[in-house]
Amino acid sequence: MKFATVVELSAKAVHVAELLGMTPSRVRQLIATRELNSFSLDRKRMIPLFQIRNQKLVPNIVDVNRELPDAMHSVAIYNWYHLENEELFTDYE
């Protein structure tokens, strides 16, 4: 995954607020508390849309986002969420 693709698959806080049915202020609050992952692009906050499904935040993503390292690059975060990791599979899968 390249940064340009992550940018294409992201939106500004105003658009995310519309998708989630909340105010842009609430979206910025989620970003500030690290419950919603975002990155800066040309002095604007961009939110990767993979965190949203069916006009809701993906279940438990808030808890996981809070635990991600502050310095983790947005491409690394996207890849971490999307690429398979055999260490995470159980014997049942």
- Each residue of 52-71: pLDDT tens digit? 999 999 999 999 999 999 88
Give dist(CA 81, CA 85) in Å, integer. 10
> Would you tell me the crossing angle of helices 13-20 and 24-32 to the nearest 10 degrees?
110
Domain ranges of the chain: 3-82
Q: What is the pLDDT of residue 18?
A: 98
Q: Is 0.85 surpassed by the pTM of this model?
A: no
pLDDT band at 88 (very low <50, low <70, confident <90, very high): low
Look at residue 19 and tell me whether its pLDDT is greater than 90: yes
